[in-house]
Amino acid sequence: MSQPLIQRLTLPARHLLCICSLFITIASHASSIEESLDKATASLPAGSRVSLIIRDNHGRVLLQRNNTQLIAPASTQKLFTALAAYYQLGNAFRFKTTLTQSKNGDTAIVFSGDPLLQRADLHRLLMQAQANGLKTIKGDLILDGSIFNGQKWSQGQSWSDTNVCFAAPATAISLNHNCVKGSIRTHGAGRQTSVYIPSYEPISVSSNAYTVSTSEAKRLSCSLDLDHFDNNHYQISGCSAPRKNLLPISIAVTEPSAYVSAIIREEAKKIGLKISGDIVIGSASNNAKTIAEHRSEPLPFYLKRMLKKSDNQIADALFKTVGYQYSNSPGNNTTATKQATVPGNFTNGAKAVRAILLENAGIDIGNAFIRDGSGLSRHNLTNADALFQVVSTIASLHEKDPTLYDALPISGVDGTLRYRRGLINKPLKGKIHAKTGHLQGVYNLAGFITTKNKQQLRFVLLIDGFNLSSEQRKAYSRNTAKHPIKVFYERFFNALYNSSPRK
């Protein structure tokens, strides 16, 4: 009697049958996901382009489209920065701000680019120095920010962004996130607006902006503009319709050294620490003794805030710090001495990130272009393949060290995904861990999604060329449920969540 076909197959043939079945299953799911992508893409306005790659946790490609196409990464750029900082600096890294004194009496505060250094930290630093015997600073107090050099902002950043806090400069001498908060009050039509800035903030803001009627504001297309001038002076101009409530403003400190100098003098006066000379910018003596020190939280704290909140100043400060550390490491600056170290800047930060990723993780980002650590520069270019290598490395690190994975925003839970439309409701709430990226015309997302059957998929989704007409913007502002990005996310990620790739 003949045997059933499956029993007559040799072992290699059985394996072949299984492999064929596996490929058929994967192909079937890929086709289903691609259909869902096509339906979701149909909701986007004309001119939009989608680039993506999706793989399962075995590395099998479920779908890829335009995955080598270069586009602006926006804040997904921070994934490159985070991984490079993780490898180069290590989890034990902390920013240090020290007060030193040399044998000849020169006193200096040495800054390290800590983007989260606060006024209270400087106060405690001065108190600690005073407790350690510093009663009077004879002569000038030197502020040393030589760890960084070059431009405060990266090339390719929008000039209009440099006045606002989300694009505050990442400088070595930095305080209070280089950001000042205040408010604008409108008055009756024809009257000048007034500005409130806390008296303890050493900046000045004037206004020649006027309040006009609601109809006049519409006719004139009113807006309020902020310009900066020397010595941290700012001016608000333009016009505004009447507002019932105060309008909050966040102003980037464009001259941090002057801002920090003024605050140090005020804090020293509070505790009776006399500074007989001026506060000047310079370099501390090489053999100076440390008499007070402030140490920041360790690196994971900064990575979590950078990725969860998409903090641009942290990203660019870490970017420059990585450039500094890598450029002065053995083998990279063989001539460096204590007198001739290489400061960190955007240029060597870019070189360092590219080299560190290749040396530590085998990540070759090819012809992707890195200009900064935050993604604010429009010069940055990347593709889905390059970003996916970082996502995969974060996945491989997760089991032994969840630092980077745990720093990603979670859909409907925290960070920049807490209120991300299309992703905050069940079943997607809590299922996506990913870094967001948004600039004009760009909506990016890179990370992980846990599917209905508990599988984790890795993905990079890049959308560029997205633009709405003025009529569409008005319509979607009244009906946000139909906003194209919300509809796209709902359609595509729900389909991805419900997909069942073979384990």
221, 256, 291 — which closes off a domain?
A: 256
235, 256, 277 — which closes off a domain?
A: 256
* Continuous segment of H or E residues that includes residue 217: helix 214-220
**368 part of a folded domain:** yes
Identify the pLDDT of residue 332.
78
Type of residue at 161: D
352 and 433 inside one domain: yes
Which of 465, 480, 475 lies closest to 47, judged by CA?
A: 465
CB atoms inside a 10 Å sphere around CB 403? 18
370 and 491 inside one domain: yes
Catalytic residue among 78, 152, 304, 435: 78
Identify the pLDDT of residue 13.
52
In which residue are the tokens 């790739």 written?
A: 501
What tens digit of pLDDT does each residue of 198-224 get? Answer: 999 999 999 999 999 999 999 999 999
**143 part of a folded domain:** no
487 and 370 inside one domain: yes
* Count of domains observed in the chain: 2
Eight-class DSSP state of 341: P
Tokens of 134: 């510093």
∠ CA 314-149-83 to the nearest 5 degrees?
A: 35
Q: Which domain holds residue 202?
A: 159-256
Query: For residue 60, what is the domain's CATH number?
Result: 3.40.710.10
What tens digit of pLDDT does each residue of 441-494 get? Answer: 999 999 999 999 999 999 999 999 999 999 999 999 889 999 999 999 999 999
Cβ-defined contacts of 189-195 (< 8 Å, 24+): 189/213, 189/216, 189/242, 193/224, 193/236, 193/240, 195/236, 195/249
**174 part of a folded domain:** yes
Eight-class DSSP state of 279: E
**484 part of a folded domain:** yes
**311 part of a folded domain:** no
Please state, in angstroms and rounded to a whole number, the distance separating the CA atoms of residues 241 and 382: 41
Eight-class DSSP state of 195: E
73 and 188 inside one domain: no
Alpha-carbon radius of gyration of the chain: 27
Eight-class DSSP state of 85: H
* Continuous segment of H or E residues that includes residue 185: strand 179-185
67 and 165 inside one domain: no
494 and 357 inside one domain: yes
Q: Where are the beta strands (DSSP E) in 430-491?
A: 432-439, 442-450, 456-464
Beta bridge partners of 457: 449
Asked if 51 is an active-site residue, the reply is no
Please state, in angstroms and rounded to a whole number, the distance separating the CA atoms of residues 292 and 290: 6
Catalytic residue among 261, 310, 374, 377: 310
pTM of the entire structure?
0.92
352 and 462 inside one domain: yes
Residue 10 buriedness (CB in 10 A; 0-12 / 13-18 / 19+): exposed
**35 part of a folded domain:** yes
352 and 494 inside one domain: yes
164 and 82 inside one domain: no
What values do phi and psi take at 105, rounded to 5?
95, 0
Identify the pLDDT of residue 164.
94
Which of 235, 237, 281 lies closest to 256, judged by CA?
A: 281
200, 227, 256 — which closes off a domain?
A: 256
Identify the pLDDT of residue 372.
98
Identify the pLDDT of residue 8.
38
Identify the pLDDT of residue 501.
64
393 and 481 inside one domain: yes
380 and 466 inside one domain: yes
Residue 351 buriedness (CB in 10 A; 0-12 / 13-18 / 19+): middle
Asked if 289 is an active-site residue, the reply is no
Identify the pLDDT of residue 12.
57
CB 318 within 8 A of CB 114: no
Tokens of 118: 């606060």
**79 part of a folded domain:** yes
**410 part of a folded domain:** yes
Which of 307, 325, 330 lies closest to 435, judged by CA?
A: 307
Asked if 48 is an active-site residue, the reply is no
Identify the pLDDT of residue 410.
98
205 and 75 inside one domain: no
For the chain (length 503 residues), average pLDDT per consecutive 10? 40 52 53 90 96 94 96 98 98 98 94 98 98 95 97 93 95 98 95 96 96 96 95 96 96 98 98 97 94 98 98 98 95 58 97 98 97 98 98 96 98 98 96 97 98 96 96 91 96 93 61
Beta bridge partners of 54: 63, 459
Eight-class DSSP state of 25: H
* Terminal C-alpha separation, the chain: 37
Please, which residues have CB within 8 angstroms of residue 99's CB and are 6 or more apart in sequence? 107, 108, 109, 110, 125, 126, 128, 129, 134, 290, 291, 292, 293
CB 444 within 8 A of CB 462: yes
CB 409 within 8 A of CB 436: yes
